[in-house]
Structure 1
Amino acid sequence: MKRFALNGAGVLVALFAVFPVYWMIATSLKSNQDIFAATPQPVPTHPTLAHYREVLTGDLIPGVTFLDFFLNSALVAVATVLLSGLVALLAATAVARFRFRLRTTFLMLLLVVQMIPLEALVIPLFQMIQRLGLYNTLPSLILTYLGFSLPFAIWMLRGFVAAVPRELEEAAAIDGASRAQTFRKVLLPLVAPGLVATSIFSFITAWNELIFALTFINDQQRYTLPVAMTFFFGRDDTAWGSVTAASTLFTLPVIVFFVLVQRRMAAGLVAGAVKG
């Protein structure tokens, strides 16, 4: 009975979490008549792809399509993931392997930075971006998201690097491997699960962020997808069919990315839980 109750509770939680996603996809396939019907239709009575065609082929603003905004978001997200993974791995290796002054202070600062609300940093970061001459450019978003994702990535990867026995690196050095070869062939494969787990966090952070993308970018052609989604909301009405279709397309890259790396992410989350 206890197991039955736990399984039932798990099913209810899963349904509660999945239902908004199902309703989004179902609404994107409904006709406008079904969407605005007095009685909500759980299942599309006359499925249509008209909303997807409208989103993919129409111009959200003159001369700029949904795919253009998609490419902007993809560029920012991929660059953030690659840079954060590289910098975080090198920093985590330094923190875990070397002893230097203020090492503990540095680790504590990583935790303190994550406690600061991101909204409180909009004005100082905006001023800094302007002084660097990066206002209205995609690199401004990449640097900002890199700063948000690095503290978590460094703190998490530090545990993975510390869990790798030093004897493995020493054995590789005895066999004639250089520091670069030891890092690439010994350390990197062992911390790869943690690197995947942190890359998911960095990707979602860069893919979904709205406030800084709306603040740092003034040229509409450089907007990312979260900002472009606001174009579907008018003053008098909202194109809910287009909104849900665009939201579904907006969600797909995150799902695909998660499916591709979920095995390594699961290994990364439980790595180090047991010893030996």
Structure 2
Amino acid sequence: MNKEAAVYRRKKIVKYLLIHLAIIAFVVVCVYPLLRILSVSMRPGDKLISTDLSLIPAGAAFDAYVRLLKETLFLRWLWNSLLITVATSFIGVSLASTAAYAFSRFRFAGKKGGLILLLSTQMIPAGMLILPLFLMIMKLGLMNTYLGMIIAYSVSSLPFSIWILKGYYDTIPRSLEEAALVDGTSQVGAFWRIILPLSTPALSIAFLFNFTTAWNEYLVARVVLFSSKQYTWTLGLFELQGQYITQWGMFAAGSMLVTIPVLIVFLYSSKWLISGLTLGSVKG
């Protein structure tokens, strides 16, 4: 019996160590590139092209950050990206939440076909959507505008958001809505007071998807925007790459700074990702 217990403990310890080693290896693989970019951003100008692998370079300084903020429109690019991304995220999640509720709760002609159509749009390569989006925005007279970018991004992210939210709505018992309707609440009231509070994890995932997709997008922005003052950060940093020279220090500094908004949004919304389905539920 003692032998079996000892063998069991040994296996448990080995399993525990292997799991934690795998987690540590995964973290290193994810974090190391960021540390390398941070290292490049702090290198003096005469040491940008170097074989030194130390994470903290000799003579580390923040000159690249200062030059980026003073010599370029980086803050303007960052503001443009933030404005477009936040608007896209809220509009996309708002439209997707109502559309997903209709697909989840109501019966209507073309429901299955609509869901299949939404799914099939995700199989189309992003590059093939550039021309239709360009023509749509051009005919609306929204070239080189924030609104044109917001419309393009919102339309592109809707199918995935609808599928995520529709699947989550399907897991919420209809009895919760029925109880609210019996108490005199309207269908809209039941959706607003019952379904949405219970769907905060899925709403957070949809919001993060919309945010990160719009924040990192380049192709649509390259087609729609042509004024440097309207550029998003992806276009702005690309301008640092010249025909004969690339400002690698400033490029790395910008790459580090643009991760801050995404990190803040993720940390703020993470508490909603772990919330359960018990909020507002009924007993019995």
Tell me the TM-score normalized by structure 1.
Answer: 0.90
1:145-171 residue CA offsets vs partner (Å, 9 max, x unmatched):
111211010001002212222221121
Q: 2:245 maps to which residue? A: 237
**Separation in structure 1 between the aligned mates of residue 95 and residue 51 of structure 2, nearest angstrom:** 54
Q: 1:10 maps to which residue? A: 23
Q: 1:273 maps to which residue? A: none
Q: 1:202 aligns with which of 177, 195, 210?
A: 210
**Separation in structure 2 between the aligned mates of residue 262 and residue 241 of structure 1, nearest angstrom:** 32
* Between 194-203 and 217-226, the greater mean CA deviation after superposition: 217-226
**Separation in structure 2 between the aligned mates of residue 99 and residue 160 of structure 1, nearest angstrom:** 17
1:54-79 residue CA offsets vs partner (Å, 9 max, x unmatched):
11222x2xxxx211111111111011
Do residues 154 (structure 1) and 167 (structure 2) align?
A: no
**Separation in structure 2 between the aligned mates of residue 197 and residue 246 of structure 1, nearest angstrom:** 26
Count the aligned residue pairs. 264
**Separation in structure 2 between the aligned mates of residue 39 and residue 32 of structure 1, nearest angstrom:** 14
**Separation in structure 2 between the aligned mates of residue 94 and residue 3 of structure 1, nearest angstrom:** 45
**Separation in structure 2 between the aligned mates of residue 217 and residue 241 of structure 1, nearest angstrom:** 25
SS in 2 for 1:237: coil
* Between 163-172 and 107-116, the greater mean CA deviation after superposition: 163-172
1:160-200 residue CA offsets vs partner (Å, 9 max, x unmatched):
21222222112112222233332221111001110011100
Do residues 43 (structure 1) and 51 (structure 2) align?
A: no
Do residues 118 (structure 1) and 102 (structure 2) align?
A: no
What amino acid is aligned across from residue 96 of structure 1 in structure 2? S
Q: 1:179 aligns with which of 180, 184, 187?
A: 187
SS in 2 for 1:127: helix
Q: How does 1:1-276 map to 2 (within 5 A)?
A: 1-58=14-71, 60=72, 65-267=73-275
Note the C-alpha offset of 1:9: 2.6
| Cα distance change, pair 38–108 in 1 and its aligned pair in 2 (3 A) | closer
SS in 1 for 2:55: coil
**Separation in structure 2 between the aligned mates of residue 106 and residue 180 of structure 1, nearest angstrom:** 22
Note the C-alpha offset of 1:81: 0.4
Q: 2:280 maps to which residue? A: none
**Separation in structure 1 between the aligned mates of residue 126 and residue 148 of structure 2, nearest angstrom:** 15
**Separation in structure 2 between the aligned mates of residue 238 and residue 41 of structure 1, nearest angstrom:** 22
Note the C-alpha offset of 1:250: 1.0
| Cα distance change, pair 238–41 in 1 and its aligned pair in 2 (3 A) | farther
**Separation in structure 2 between the aligned mates of residue 70 and residue 164 of structure 1, nearest angstrom:** 39
* Between 114-123 and 169-178, the greater mean CA deviation after superposition: 169-178
Q: In the alignment, is the contact (CA less than 8 A) between 2:200 and 2:275 conserved in 1? A: no
What amino acid is aligned across from residue 213 of structure 2 in structure 1? T
Note the C-alpha offset of 1:266: 4.3
Q: 2:8 maps to which residue? A: none
The percentage of aligned residue pairs carrying the same residue is 35
What amino acid is aligned across from residue 62 of structure 2 in structure 1? L
**Separation in structure 1 between the aligned mates of residue 166 and residue 65 of structure 2, nearest angstrom:** 44
**Separation in structure 1 between the aligned mates of residue 199 and residue 42 of structure 2, nearest angstrom:** 42
**Separation in structure 2 between the aligned mates of residue 49 and residue 233 of structure 1, nearest angstrom:** 20
Q: 2:10 maps to which residue? A: none
Note the C-alpha offset of 1:98: 0.2
1:247-268 residue CA offsets vs partner (Å, 9 max, x unmatched):
1111111111111112322458
SS in 2 for 1:81: helix
Note the C-alpha offset of 1:128: 1.9
